[in-house]
Structure 1
């Protein structure tokens, strides 16, 4: 084990066995950061449970991250087989590519309220159970309607996990937000890449059954439920504020829409999500139209996704050490602009370079998640900010891939779509610089 990991575990264990002191916020977790005094997090008491709980939380974060994207990327890899097997129309198949963003926005809004009632750990556990149920049921639900309904159940689980995992990181590891976000997003990128690469071979190994190729990912989600069952059971009575405690300014209701930083971050998140969806959905076609073989175009997309695995661990650690994350925003944005310029000028000649550059640029997602945890002082603030940013951001991202497809169809080439991609990158950089300033939403709202 590396020294950094030992330090994370050591600090987490020390807080896990500390007595439950101090006020709590409205997520049911102790406040952390300046608003709550010294950094604190959920307690489990002394003994073996207290010593092991931080490790269980870390394992839960990794397993959850590995489980959150395979329901989406495995479907993309097998969509043609699903359409043929269910007799699904092209319109419904196209709708399925937009449903994730819509569900992330709609169900993510409910996450903070559910967390206040039951605790973030319990809701993440329930979300993973919903993913397990939806992924296991949808191939056998019978017809297009059942498939879409089961997929929606899985996406609802993904949505609440998307919102609340940054809250868990902030609460359990307040002084290790960067490394823990990096660990989470690295596992997220790994799960995304593995599902995209293995869905078709797994289906082939199971006798050519697309149903098996989709349902097998429920096993991973079911395994992720187990550590969160332990975490959910550790929510103690210490999470409630002491009776008669004096009200303080930071306990006042937080109007998230009054915070300029929340808006900058939401718009930044939306534009980076737009760029990522366009890249994942259309980059292989850009290469194929330029004469790159279909198999190679698929490998190039896999390379783009795989670049995010190591960088997703590095970027949050760098961001956490910076008071202003603007320079990182600019660097990643310039990589995206360079990759888009290459796709326009010489898509086939420099295909591998453009794939790498686009992969580096996609790490803006990791940076955005880190900034969510850094722009609030309490777990309650992170919960509200995460829900707001992801709701607004995913709604903003929905039209992007459809608009690119429309421009491609009507213009007969990739000049206008790539120009749109580059044009959106400019405000993304500007908004990211604004969101990266050393501000806290509690101070603004």
Structure 2
């Protein structure tokens, strides 16, 4: 098997020697089967918790803003906090993973999400609410970065299917939080604090499967005959010495990640409000956001598997971007009349996220390279996405409507498609650095 991404994607029976580096799959055996079971459960539960802290807030943003006396601009700042935290804290993930092991860092990330979700309802002002949100988002940030790394390490021969599995769980958690937050809040007496705090239960469950993996810091792969194979420290060291900023593919991937994240966080933060302002009831607006998010459940499993079987992922990028353009156009012209159609189309467009994660796993030959590429692409990408939700809030407040903000959202789909096609070319960052 060669080192080319297209060959890696062909789902071979065993991982190639190109994957034998310090961040690689654990040795086979009975203990390894238990380990892989915990990792699989951990991936699914962690993914379920990577968005409820955000989409649950989007569903109740109007109530939270009224209680904490937030203006439209301040609410825009609040919706910009997730990508800011992801960029700032995500860049620390590779160093933490090298020191403590990726599983231990993800475990700590789940604990941080739990703490933030428990503290956020106790906030009495905007500053405290932002601080508690930032704590949860810090845990999400490091876990975001390390999900592709965990997959590359424990499932090097199943990158597409495992990426699809946790992407599907991520989409499911996102949609559940969007759909259930308002009804649960009503059932709990209409207090938004309880409606947001109830998601801490799911976060507590996500900590458990990672606890047995905390000390699992290193691993080895098997040779073609099943014998343990020593890591290749020279190859991993060479990968670690190459600066990612010298790779055009890394930059294209970072820009693609940033633009799709911009659209995703604008959607999660503002889409319910867009529908509510057009006359849609609050509960229905939350369900519409859930429809948008739930589209990722089946597609997040299908798209990574499809992407790993293609030499270039540009056609998928263009197809998803076109759905986004049509969805935003409909949202601009008939937000309530075609609400369900626009929600479905924007949900399809948002599946650029699992595609980006899949390309991260394909654009480097080694696990060590994936760690660095994931940190670079996601951290730079989230930095790029920070102004988007804030700008939408400012434009909404000063223009007095949603015409200009929605036009901005649709316009961003064009550069997203361009850089996505560049990021999807059949090459690795090692080829360029």
What TM-score bracket applies, with the shorter chain setting the length? 0.7 to 0.9
CA distance in 1, matches of 2:363, 2:334: 40
Task: State whether residues 86 and 141 of structure 2, in contact with CA within 8 Å, keep that contact through their aligned partners in structure 1.
Answer: yes
Confirm or deny that 1:69 pairs with 2:57: no
In structure 2, relative to structure 1, the CA distance for the partners of 1:180 and 1:411 (3 Å cut) is: same
Verify: 1:324 aligned to 2:307, yes or no.
no
Q: Deviation at 1:155?
A: 1.0
- Pick one of 189, 196, 202 that aligns with 1:220: 202
Alignment match of 1:170 (pick from 115, 134, 152): 152
Q: Report Cα offsets for 1:196-232 as digits up to 9, x if no partner.
A: 2222333333344333322222221121111111122
Higher relative contact order (CA 8 A, sep 6+): 2
2:295 aligned counterpart, secondary structure: helix
What SS class does the counterpart of residue 233 from structure 1 fall into?
coil
Deviations 1:235-279 (A, max 9, x none): 35869x989976788455120101100000111111111122233
Alpha-carbon distance in 1 for matches of 2:164, 2:236: 33
Secondary structure of 1:197's counterpart equals helix
Aligned with residue 331 of structure 2, among 340, 343, 351:
343
Cα distance in 2 for partners of 1:96, 1:113 equals: 28
Cα pair 2:76 2:389 within 8 Å, conserved: no
Go from structure 1 to structure 2 and tell me whether the alpha carbon gap of 1:219 and 1:412 turns closer, same or farther (over 3 Å shift).
Answer: closer
Equivalent residue runs for 1:192-231 within 5 Å: 192-231=174-213
Q: Deviations over 1:38-63 (max 9, x none)?
A: 9993425633x222211111110000
Q: Paired residue for 2:38?
A: 56
Query: Are 1:43 and 2:31 matched, yes or no?
Result: no
2:291 is paired with a residue of what secondary structure? helix
Tell me the CA shift for residue 357 of structure 1: 1.1
Cα pair 1:108 1:391 within 8 Å, conserved: yes
Q: How far apart in 1 are the matches of 2:366 and 2:422?
A: 21
Aligned to 2:225: none
**1:173·1:180 contact (CA, 8 Å) conserved in 2?**
yes
Q: For 1:246 and 1:392, how far apart are their aligned partners in 2?
A: 27
Which stretches in structure 2 are left out of the alignment for 5+ residues? 1-10, 222-228
Instruction: Select 2:293's aligned residue among 305, 326, 337.
Output: 305
Match of 2:384 in 1: 396
Name the stretch that deviates more: 96-105 or 345-354: 345-354
The residue number in structure 2 matching 1:438 is 426
Distance 1:252 1:161, change over 3 A: closer
Residue-by-residue CA offset, 1:52-102 (whole Å, 9 max, x unaligned): 211111110000011111122222333344445556666554432211111
Residue in 2 aligned with 1:129?
111
Structure 1, 82-91 or 257-266: larger mean CA deviation: 82-91
Distance 1:275 1:259 in 2: 25
Aligned-residue CA RMSD in angstroms? 3.0
What is the DSSP-based 3-state SS (H/G/I as helix, E as strand, rest coil) of the residue aligned with 2:412?
helix
* Equivalent residue, structure 2, for 1:429: 417
1:71-110 matches, within 5 Å, as: 71-83=53-65, 85-86=67-68, 92-110=74-92
The 2-side partners of 1:245 and 1:414 are apart by 54
The total of aligned residue pairs comes to: 416
TM-score by length of 2: 0.86
How far did residue 325 of structure 1 move?
0.5
> In the alignment, is the contact (CA less than 8 A) between 2:275 and 2:285 conserved in 1?
yes
**What does 1:237-252 align with in structure 2 at a 5 Å threshold?**
250-251=238-239
Whole-angstrom CA distance in 2 between matches of 1:87 and 1:383: 41
Distance 2:134 2:231 in 1: 41
How high is the TM-score relative to the length of structure 1?
A: 0.84
Which residue number corresponds to residue 132 of structure 2?
A: 150
1: CA distance, partners of 2:102 / 2:233: 23
SS at match of 1:74: helix
Report the equivalent of 1:5: none
Q: Deviations over 1:164-187 (max 9, x none)?
A: 111000111111111111110111
8 Å contact 2:19–2:367 — kept in the other structure?
no
Do 1:40 and 1:174's aligned partners in 2 also have CA atoms closer than 8 Å? no
- Where 1:102 maps in the other structure, the secondary structure is helix
